[in-house]
Structures are given as C-alpha cells and as structure tokens.
Amino acid sequence: MNKCKSFPSVINQNSKVLILGSMPGVKSLEEQQYYAHPQNRFWKIMSLLCKCDNLHAMPYETGLEILLKNNFALWDVIKFCERKGSMDTDIRNERPNELDKLLEKYPNIEKICFNGTKAYMAFKKYFPDYLSKYKHFKLPSTSPANAKFKTEDLFIEWSLAINS
C-alpha cells in the first residue's frame, strides 16, 4: 500500500462550481498535477465546457488559470489514504480534506460536482449536512477506468450538471 496525499485546492473568490475528485491517481501524484493521466478525459471535457481548444494540451498552470477564469474550482474529498495503484476501490484508511472550512471561506460556491461515485460517497460520509446546502451532482468519472462512457457521453452529462 502506498501512502497518498492530495493536492492543495485550486480556487478563488470568483469560483462558483467546485469539482471534487476522490484522490489523485498514481500518474497525477507522480506529476503533482490534477488529472495527469493522458487517458483521463477531465481536461478534454473542461476544454469543451470552457470553450477553449486543447486545454488538455496546454501547460498545466495555464489550464488551471483557465478553469479559474471560468469560475471552476478543483479539489479532492480525501486528503490522505493508503492505496495500491489508482483504483478508488482500493482506497483504505482515508481521511478527508477540510471541505467544510473551504466552503465557509468561499461563499460564492453555488454547486458541487463529484467526479465519480467515490468522491460523492466520501463527501456524503464526512460532510452529509452540506449536501442539502448546495446543488450537487454525482457525475460519471472521467477516469480511463470508466470505459463504458465515451468522451461525448461524459460531456453531455457534465454539461447538463454545469449548466443547470
């Protein structure tokens, strides 16, 4: 089992939509970048949502700036865990990030979108009261492990939530 630690949040005072993952995968942890696996569709979906060509091909910091300019924020529900590999089902001994403090500090957040079931279930476990305070959506994961969803189908699901 590897000890995993999530990244700092990516957020500012203009952020309205908080996108929460569970815990970065092995490639993301190695690169110290959200959604760094080349087959993860997150950056492609966000390119479409931000109406920005090839966000996935831009330098990482530029991508984060564009997300912030489009009022998105990123973080993970889990702060620490033990896990072999990248699968959410292998997460053990998890401890949550301080999402309650983040949401208090950034009152402009209107909506929470969960990138996959594990992110939603962990949030529900640790912060159940916040589900009634925010519009929220459990979205299909952009992970390559979620092969049953094509990128086009992911975009439809994500855009319906983001634009609701």
The residues assigned a catalytic role are 40
Query: What's the CA angle centered on 134, arms 46 and 99, to 5 degrees?
Result: 75
Within 10 Å of residue 150's Cβ, how many Cβ atoms?
Answer: 10
Closest to 75 in 3D by CA, of 101, 38, 49: 101
Neighbour-count burial for 8-38, b at 16+ CB within 10 Å, e otherwise: ebbbeeebebbbbbbbbbbbbbeeebbbbbe
